[in-house]
Amino acid sequence: MSEKNVFEASPEAKGKAKQLRLFAVLAWVLAMAGQVFAILKLISDETLIWLIVAIVVILILAITGSTLWKKANKLDPASEKDKTRFFIQNQLGAIMGVLAFLPLVIFIFTNKDISGKTKGIAGSIAAIAMVAAGITGADFNPPSVEKYTEEINQQNEAAKSLGIDSDNVYWSAAGNKYHIHDNCQHIRGKALSNGSIKQSWEDKGISELCKTCKKKAAKSLVPSDVKELIETE
């Protein structure tokens, strides 16, 4: 595999990923602040309702953070070569999700001033929230530079077999498809970029051939093949 075929996120994609990561960190900081507040102020029989409200708010913040974080990873994935970094970058959402609740769960279950009932209700809700934040934060199919590179090469091959010029496709910033025709119904009237299949990946992360354009290409392939056959005879 030659160097030029290796995926590298475009400066725009990297910039957008950076922004998403910043918001993700902000959401996690707020979740942690919420947790500290809950530990200091809300673990008592009188404030059980408010403790539950705080748990829900922390959970929303934790999930928001990991969703933004995973989105950023899709735009600007890590390389599998550095195993530690690859793991941390892709599973940070799960790590932060657990950290947003683990101290709270411990503080609830070890508290001596609350009733057993409060302990049971608040503790189990916080534990469930921790598991939920951990699972939704984990990336079970993490993107990587290597996966993207392989996918781009496969798509280039597929394009070739369909008679598509892989250096001349169109895409809009929104959506995760690239198109063969700039007048395709799905991108009509939108601001378009034009370039190679690889560039469409580097611009916006995961990118696939539009089904409508693919059908059109497959259709136009048949007559030209038949024509060729007739000409060679």
Give the nearer residue to Zn ion in terms of CB position, either 67 or 212.
212
DSSP string for 117-186? HHHHHHHHHHHHHHHHHHHHH--SS--BHHHHHHHHHHHHHHHHHTT--TTSEEEESSSSEEBS-TT-TT
Distance CA 58, CA 38 (A): 10
DSSP for residue 78: B
Minimum CB separation of residue 34 from Zn ion in Å reads 44
Distance CA 183, CA 160 (A): 21
Give the nearer residue to Zn ion in terms of CB position, either 122 or 184.
184
Minimum CB separation of residue 186 from Zn ion in Å reads 5
Give the nearer residue to Zn ion in terms of CB position, either 121 or 192.
192
Give the nearer residue to Zn ion in terms of CB position, either 21 or 179.
179
**CA R_g for the chain:** 25
Give the nearer residue to Zn ion in terms of CB position, either 103 or 195.
195
Minimum CB separation of residue 170 from Zn ion in Å reads 8
Minimum CB separation of residue 211 from Zn ion in Å reads 8
- C-alpha to C-alpha distances, 194 to 81, 153, 174, 213, nearest whole angstrom: 31, 18, 14, 15
Which spans of this chain sit near Zn ion (rule: CB under 5 A)? 179, 184, 186, 210, 212-213
Minimum CB separation of residue 196 from Zn ion in Å reads 16
Reading phi first (left if > 0) and then psi (alpha if -120 to 50, else beta), residue 189 is in: left
Give the nearer residue to Zn ion in terms of CB position, either 99 or 213.
213
Distance CA 214, CA 221 (A): 10
Distance CA 112, CA 57 (A): 25
Minimum CB separation of residue 187 from Zn ion in Å reads 6
